Structure 1
Amino acid sequence: MVTNVGNQTKFIDAIKELIELDYDAVDTYKLAIEKLKNLEYKDKFYEFKGDHNQHIKQLSAFLARNNEIAPTEPDKTKDLLMKAKVEGASFIGDKDILKAMLSNEEDTVTAYERMNKRVKESSDQKIAKIIADGWEDEKRHKNWIQNELEKLKHSGELS
Protein backbone atom coordinates (compact mmCIF):
# COMPACT_ATOMS: atom_id res chain seq x y z
CA MET A 1 0.00 0.00 0.00
CA VAL A 2 1.32 3.43 -0.89
CA THR A 3 0.05 6.16 1.39
CA ASN A 4 -1.31 9.53 0.34
CA VAL A 5 -0.93 10.99 3.82
CA GLY A 6 0.70 14.38 3.57
CA ASN A 7 -0.71 15.13 0.12
CA GLN A 8 -3.96 16.65 1.40
CA THR A 9 -4.64 20.25 0.43
CA LYS A 10 -5.14 21.48 4.01
CA PHE A 11 -2.43 20.89 6.60
CA ILE A 12 -5.04 20.14 9.29
CA ASP A 13 -6.60 17.44 7.09
CA ALA A 14 -3.16 15.91 6.56
CA ILE A 15 -2.65 15.80 10.34
CA LYS A 16 -6.01 14.03 10.73
CA GLU A 17 -5.01 11.44 8.15
CA LEU A 18 -1.65 11.02 9.84
CA ILE A 19 -3.46 10.25 13.10
CA GLU A 20 -5.59 7.67 11.29
CA LEU A 21 -2.41 6.12 9.86
CA ASP A 22 -0.96 5.89 13.37
CA TYR A 23 -4.16 4.20 14.54
CA ASP A 24 -3.77 1.77 11.62
CA ALA A 25 -0.21 1.08 12.77
CA VAL A 26 -1.32 0.47 16.38
CA ASP A 27 -3.91 -2.06 15.21
CA THR A 28 -1.40 -3.75 12.92
CA TYR A 29 1.22 -3.98 15.67
CA LYS A 30 -1.38 -5.51 18.01
CA LEU A 31 -2.08 -8.19 15.42
CA ALA A 32 1.61 -8.78 14.70
CA ILE A 33 2.36 -9.14 18.42
CA GLU A 34 -0.42 -11.70 18.70
CA LYS A 35 0.89 -13.70 15.72
CA LEU A 36 4.66 -13.53 16.32
CA LYS A 37 6.47 -16.40 17.98
CA ASN A 38 9.83 -14.64 18.60
CA LEU A 39 9.69 -12.91 21.99
CA GLU A 40 12.35 -10.32 21.04
CA TYR A 41 10.23 -9.27 18.08
CA LYS A 42 7.14 -9.08 20.30
CA ASP A 43 8.96 -6.87 22.81
CA LYS A 44 10.21 -4.54 20.10
CA PHE A 45 6.78 -4.34 18.51
CA TYR A 46 5.24 -3.41 21.90
CA GLU A 47 7.72 -0.54 21.98
CA PHE A 48 6.86 0.53 18.43
CA LYS A 49 3.13 0.33 19.16
CA GLY A 50 3.76 2.63 22.13
CA ASP A 51 5.50 5.13 19.85
CA HIS A 52 2.47 5.17 17.55
CA ASN A 53 0.16 5.70 20.53
CA GLN A 54 2.34 8.63 21.60
CA HIS A 55 2.11 10.13 18.11
CA ILE A 56 -1.68 9.89 18.26
CA LYS A 57 -1.74 11.63 21.64
CA GLN A 58 0.56 14.46 20.56
CA LEU A 59 -1.05 15.03 17.16
CA SER A 60 -4.52 14.95 18.72
CA ALA A 61 -3.40 17.59 21.25
CA PHE A 62 -2.22 19.76 18.35
CA LEU A 63 -5.66 19.48 16.74
CA ALA A 64 -7.37 20.33 20.03
CA ARG A 65 -5.20 23.46 20.36
CA ASN A 66 -6.46 24.41 16.90
CA ASN A 67 -10.12 23.75 17.76
CA GLU A 68 -10.24 20.68 15.55
CA ILE A 69 -11.60 17.26 16.39
CA ALA A 70 -9.06 14.45 16.13
CA PRO A 71 -9.95 11.07 14.65
CA THR A 72 -10.49 8.40 17.28
CA GLU A 73 -10.02 5.35 15.11
CA PRO A 74 -8.17 4.14 12.03
CA ASP A 75 -9.29 4.57 8.46
CA LYS A 76 -11.24 1.33 8.02
CA THR A 77 -9.97 0.58 4.50
CA LYS A 78 -6.30 1.26 5.23
CA ASP A 79 -6.55 -0.59 8.53
CA LEU A 80 -7.98 -3.64 6.78
CA LEU A 81 -5.25 -3.60 4.13
CA MET A 82 -2.42 -3.22 6.64
CA LYS A 83 -3.78 -5.97 8.85
CA ALA A 84 -4.45 -8.27 5.88
CA LYS A 85 -0.74 -8.23 5.02
CA VAL A 86 0.18 -9.30 8.55
CA GLU A 87 -2.62 -11.86 8.81
CA GLY A 88 -1.58 -13.49 5.54
CA ALA A 89 2.08 -13.47 6.52
CA SER A 90 1.32 -15.07 9.87
CA PHE A 91 0.50 -18.36 8.17
CA ILE A 92 4.06 -18.51 6.89
CA GLY A 93 5.97 -17.28 9.94
CA ASP A 94 7.75 -14.49 11.77
CA LYS A 95 10.01 -13.48 8.89
CA ASP A 96 6.97 -12.83 6.69
CA ILE A 97 5.31 -10.83 9.45
CA LEU A 98 8.51 -8.74 9.58
CA LYS A 99 8.30 -8.23 5.80
CA ALA A 100 4.66 -7.14 6.08
CA MET A 101 5.46 -4.76 8.91
CA LEU A 102 8.38 -3.33 6.94
CA SER A 103 5.98 -2.47 4.13
CA ASN A 104 3.66 -0.77 6.62
CA GLU A 105 6.52 1.17 8.20
CA GLU A 106 7.68 2.34 4.78
CA ASP A 107 4.28 4.03 4.44
CA THR A 108 4.54 5.72 7.83
CA VAL A 109 8.07 6.93 7.06
CA THR A 110 6.81 8.42 3.79
CA ALA A 111 3.86 10.09 5.53
CA TYR A 112 6.01 11.64 8.27
CA GLU A 113 8.60 12.76 5.72
CA ARG A 114 5.92 14.57 3.73
CA MET A 115 4.51 16.15 6.86
CA ASN A 116 7.97 17.24 7.96
CA LYS A 117 8.27 19.17 4.68
CA ARG A 118 4.86 20.78 5.25
CA VAL A 119 5.18 21.66 8.92
CA LYS A 120 5.95 25.32 8.18
CA GLU A 121 2.29 25.66 7.14
CA SER A 122 1.36 25.79 10.82
CA SER A 123 1.93 28.66 13.21
CA ASP A 124 2.01 26.20 16.14
CA GLN A 125 5.63 25.98 17.28
CA LYS A 126 5.24 22.55 18.92
CA ILE A 127 4.07 20.71 15.82
CA ALA A 128 7.47 20.88 14.08
CA LYS A 129 9.09 18.94 16.93
CA ILE A 130 6.22 16.45 17.14
CA ILE A 131 6.46 15.72 13.41
CA ALA A 132 10.28 15.58 13.40
CA ASP A 133 10.33 13.25 16.42
CA GLY A 134 7.64 11.08 14.84
CA TRP A 135 9.63 10.85 11.62
CA GLU A 136 12.71 9.76 13.59
CA ASP A 137 10.63 7.10 15.37
CA GLU A 138 9.31 5.79 12.06
CA LYS A 139 12.78 5.62 10.52
CA ARG A 140 14.01 3.78 13.64
CA HIS A 141 11.15 1.26 13.35
CA LYS A 142 11.83 0.69 9.66
CA ASN A 143 15.58 0.34 10.19
CA TRP A 144 15.15 -2.14 13.04
CA ILE A 145 12.88 -4.35 10.93
CA GLN A 146 15.26 -4.12 7.95
CA ASN A 147 18.19 -5.09 10.19
CA GLU A 148 16.32 -8.09 11.57
CA LEU A 149 15.45 -9.22 8.04
CA GLU A 150 19.12 -8.85 7.05
CA LYS A 151 20.13 -11.01 10.02
CA LEU A 152 17.67 -13.67 8.89
CA LYS A 153 18.98 -13.44 5.34
CA HIS A 154 22.59 -13.89 6.46
CA SER A 155 21.65 -16.79 8.70
CA GLY A 156 20.01 -18.54 5.77
CA GLU A 157 16.49 -18.23 7.20
CA LEU A 158 15.48 -15.66 4.59
CA SER A 159 15.98 -16.13 0.91
Structure 2
Amino acid sequence: MATTVGHESDINKLVQDLLYLEHDAIAAYDSAIDKLDNEAFKSQVASFRDDHYAHVSTLKNMASELGIEAPAEGDMKQMLTTGKVALANLMGDGAILKAMKTNEDDTVTAYDRARQHQDARPESIAFFEKALTDEQRHRTWFEQSAAAA
Protein backbone atom coordinates (compact mmCIF):
# COMPACT_ATOMS: atom_id res chain seq x y z
CA MET A 1 0.00 0.00 0.00
CA ALA A 2 1.78 3.14 -1.16
CA THR A 3 0.97 6.15 0.96
CA THR A 4 0.04 9.56 -0.36
CA VAL A 5 0.79 11.23 2.99
CA GLY A 6 3.20 14.08 2.51
CA HIS A 7 1.66 15.41 -0.69
CA GLU A 8 -0.86 17.63 1.15
CA SER A 9 -1.00 21.24 0.03
CA ASP A 10 -1.22 22.64 3.56
CA ILE A 11 0.38 21.79 6.87
CA ASN A 12 -2.97 21.35 8.64
CA LYS A 13 -3.99 18.47 6.41
CA LEU A 14 -0.48 17.01 6.63
CA VAL A 15 -0.60 16.89 10.43
CA GLN A 16 -4.07 15.30 10.38
CA ASP A 17 -3.01 12.70 7.81
CA LEU A 18 0.13 11.87 9.82
CA LEU A 19 -2.08 11.31 12.85
CA TYR A 20 -4.29 8.93 10.88
CA LEU A 21 -1.18 7.11 9.67
CA GLU A 22 0.21 6.84 13.21
CA HIS A 23 -3.08 5.50 14.59
CA ASP A 24 -3.15 2.95 11.76
CA ALA A 25 0.43 1.97 12.61
CA ILE A 26 -0.42 1.52 16.30
CA ALA A 27 -3.33 -0.76 15.37
CA ALA A 28 -0.98 -2.86 13.22
CA TYR A 29 1.54 -3.01 16.07
CA ASP A 30 -1.17 -4.17 18.49
CA SER A 31 -2.16 -6.87 16.03
CA ALA A 32 1.44 -7.99 15.50
CA ILE A 33 2.16 -8.15 19.24
CA ASP A 34 -0.95 -10.27 19.70
CA LYS A 35 0.01 -12.68 16.90
CA LEU A 36 3.80 -13.06 17.31
CA ASP A 37 5.01 -16.21 19.06
CA ASN A 38 8.59 -15.11 19.78
CA GLU A 39 8.67 -13.15 23.07
CA ALA A 40 11.80 -11.19 22.08
CA PHE A 41 10.07 -10.06 18.89
CA LYS A 42 6.98 -9.06 20.88
CA SER A 43 9.10 -6.99 23.25
CA GLN A 44 10.90 -5.14 20.47
CA VAL A 45 7.68 -4.50 18.56
CA ALA A 46 6.11 -3.10 21.74
CA SER A 47 9.08 -0.77 22.11
CA PHE A 48 8.60 0.48 18.56
CA ARG A 49 4.89 0.95 19.24
CA ASP A 50 5.89 3.29 22.07
CA ASP A 51 7.70 5.45 19.49
CA HIS A 52 4.44 5.70 17.55
CA TYR A 53 2.57 6.74 20.70
CA ALA A 54 5.20 9.46 21.21
CA HIS A 55 4.72 10.59 17.60
CA VAL A 56 0.95 10.82 18.20
CA SER A 57 1.54 12.95 21.28
CA THR A 58 3.76 15.39 19.37
CA LEU A 59 1.40 15.51 16.41
CA LYS A 60 -1.55 16.21 18.74
CA ASN A 61 0.39 19.15 20.17
CA MET A 62 1.10 20.37 16.65
CA ALA A 63 -2.60 20.09 15.78
CA SER A 64 -3.49 22.08 18.88
CA GLU A 65 -0.99 24.81 17.99
CA LEU A 66 -2.45 24.93 14.49
CA GLY A 67 -5.99 25.10 15.88
CA ILE A 68 -7.15 21.97 14.07
CA GLU A 69 -8.89 18.79 15.13
CA ALA A 70 -6.58 15.89 15.95
CA PRO A 71 -7.98 12.54 14.78
CA ALA A 72 -8.26 10.14 17.71
CA GLU A 73 -8.14 6.95 15.63
CA GLY A 74 -7.06 5.61 12.29
CA ASP A 75 -8.98 5.64 9.05
CA MET A 76 -9.99 2.99 6.52
CA LYS A 77 -6.33 2.20 5.81
CA GLN A 78 -6.23 0.58 9.24
CA MET A 79 -7.97 -2.45 7.77
CA LEU A 80 -5.12 -2.79 5.28
CA THR A 81 -2.34 -2.43 7.84
CA THR A 82 -3.90 -4.86 10.30
CA GLY A 83 -5.18 -7.15 7.54
CA LYS A 84 -1.66 -7.74 6.23
CA VAL A 85 -0.59 -8.80 9.70
CA ALA A 86 -3.59 -11.10 10.13
CA LEU A 87 -2.89 -12.83 6.82
CA ALA A 88 0.81 -13.11 7.59
CA ASN A 89 -0.08 -14.82 10.86
CA LEU A 90 -0.99 -17.89 8.84
CA MET A 91 2.69 -18.22 7.88
CA GLY A 92 4.38 -17.39 11.19
CA ASP A 93 6.54 -14.74 12.79
CA GLY A 94 8.78 -14.10 9.76
CA ALA A 95 5.77 -13.26 7.60
CA ILE A 96 4.31 -11.00 10.30
CA LEU A 97 7.60 -9.10 10.50
CA LYS A 98 7.67 -8.75 6.70
CA ALA A 99 4.13 -7.36 6.75
CA MET A 100 5.14 -4.87 9.41
CA LYS A 101 8.15 -3.85 7.32
CA THR A 102 5.84 -2.94 4.44
CA ASN A 103 3.77 -0.81 6.83
CA GLU A 104 6.99 0.94 7.90
CA ASP A 105 7.75 1.68 4.25
CA ASP A 106 4.73 3.99 4.30
CA THR A 107 5.69 5.80 7.49
CA VAL A 108 9.26 6.32 6.22
CA THR A 109 7.92 7.79 2.98
CA ALA A 110 5.41 10.00 4.82
CA TYR A 111 7.95 11.52 7.22
CA ASP A 112 10.53 11.96 4.48
CA ARG A 113 8.00 13.99 2.54
CA ALA A 114 6.74 15.83 5.65
CA ARG A 115 10.19 17.14 6.54
CA GLN A 116 10.33 18.77 3.11
CA HIS A 117 6.85 20.35 3.28
CA GLN A 118 6.87 24.00 2.26
CA ASP A 119 4.80 25.14 5.28
CA ALA A 120 6.70 23.21 7.94
CA ARG A 121 8.27 25.34 10.65
CA PRO A 122 11.78 24.57 11.93
CA GLU A 123 10.44 22.81 15.05
CA SER A 124 8.09 20.74 12.87
CA ILE A 125 10.92 19.81 10.56
CA ALA A 126 13.01 18.72 13.55
CA PHE A 127 10.19 16.45 14.73
CA PHE A 128 9.59 15.06 11.23
CA GLU A 129 13.30 14.25 10.92
CA LYS A 130 13.35 12.52 14.31
CA ALA A 131 10.25 10.53 13.40
CA LEU A 132 11.85 9.61 10.06
CA THR A 133 14.91 8.31 11.91
CA ASP A 134 12.66 6.25 14.21
CA GLU A 135 10.76 4.80 11.25
CA GLN A 136 13.94 3.94 9.35
CA ARG A 137 15.25 2.15 12.46
CA HIS A 138 11.98 0.21 12.78
CA ARG A 139 11.98 -0.73 9.10
CA THR A 140 15.59 -1.96 9.23
CA TRP A 141 14.88 -4.09 12.29
CA PHE A 142 11.75 -5.62 10.72
CA GLU A 143 13.63 -6.39 7.52
CA GLN A 144 16.62 -7.97 9.29
CA SER A 145 14.53 -9.85 11.82
CA ALA A 146 12.17 -11.22 9.18
CA ALA A 147 15.13 -12.54 7.23
CA ALA A 148 16.50 -14.23 10.34
CA ALA A 149 13.16 -15.66 11.55
Is the TM-score greater than 0.5? yes
Per the normalisation by structure 2, the TM-score is 0.96
Shift of 1:151: 2.5
* Alignment correspondent of 2:142: 145
Which runs of structure 1 show a deviation greater than 6 angstroms over 4 or more consecutive aligned residues? none
**Which is bigger in relative contact order (C-alpha 8 A, separation at least 6)?**
2
- 1:9 and 1:2 map into 2 onto residues whose CA distance is 18
SS of 1:2's partner is: coil
Q: How many residues align?
A: 149
Aligned to 2:4: 4
Contact in 1 for aligned 2:37/2:93 (Cα 8 Å): yes
Q: Which runs of 5+ in 2 are unaligned?
A: none
What amino acid maps onto 1:33 in structure 2? Answer: I
Report matched runs for 1:1-159 at 5 Å.
1-75=1-75, 77-118=76-117, 120-123=118-121, 125-152=122-149
Normalised by the length of structure 1, the TM-score is 0.90
CA distance in 2, matches of 1:103, 1:143: 11
CA distance in structure 1 between the partners assigned to 2:61 and 2:73 by the alignment? 15
Indicate the structure (1 or 2) with the bigger Cα radius of gyration: 1
Matched residue, 1:155 = none
Separation of aligned partners in 1, 2:91 and 2:145: 17
Q: Aligned AA for 1:122? A: A
> What amino acid maps onto 1:130 in structure 2?
F
Letter in structure 1 aligned against 2:147 = E
Partner amino acid, structure 2, of 1:55: H
1:84 shift after superposition: 0.6
